[in-house]
Amino acid sequence: MSSLTPISREVLLTLKAKKDEEIRQEKVNGVLEYIYGMVIKQAETSVEPLYRYRVPLMGHCRFHIENMTEITTRLVQLFANCRVYILTEPTFPNGMYVEDFIVIDWTT
């Protein structure tokens, strides 16, 4: 019984929101770490001075859309003096579908 800590109603009401925010931050950090690693790899192995991260069309697409501002803002902080922008391209010749990319461009 000594390891049990009293907890108030107010704290209980906020637990889910806090846990949801922790999970969201972990996912955002995962996306950032992946992009960061791929940008470094691109810079080390290619003469093309940009990296295009395809935003998933399925599954995590909604997550990316809902968190795009935070993701791009943090990428701007990570890659000083680089252009970070969203690029939308048609996936079929008739432009019926589009794909979004987060682009990190370090051209001079």
Please tell me the distance from the alpha carbon of residue 108 to that of residue 103, in angstroms, as a whole number.
15
Contacts of 9 by beta carbon, 8 Å cutoff, 6+ apart? none
Helices (H), the chain: 9-45, 61-66, 68-78
What is the longest distance spanned by two Cα atoms in the chain? 67
DSSP lists the bridge partners of residue 83 as 105
pLDDT at 16: 94
pTM, entire model = 0.85
- Residue 60 pLDDT: 59
Bridge-partner residues for 99, per DSSP? 89
Per-residue pLDDT of 14-58, as tens digits, reads: 999 999 999 999 999 999 999 999 999 999 999 999 999 999 876
pLDDT, tens digit, for every residue of 50-99?
999 999 876 557 888 899 999 999 999 999 999 999 998 887 777 677 88
Find the length of the chain. Answer: 108
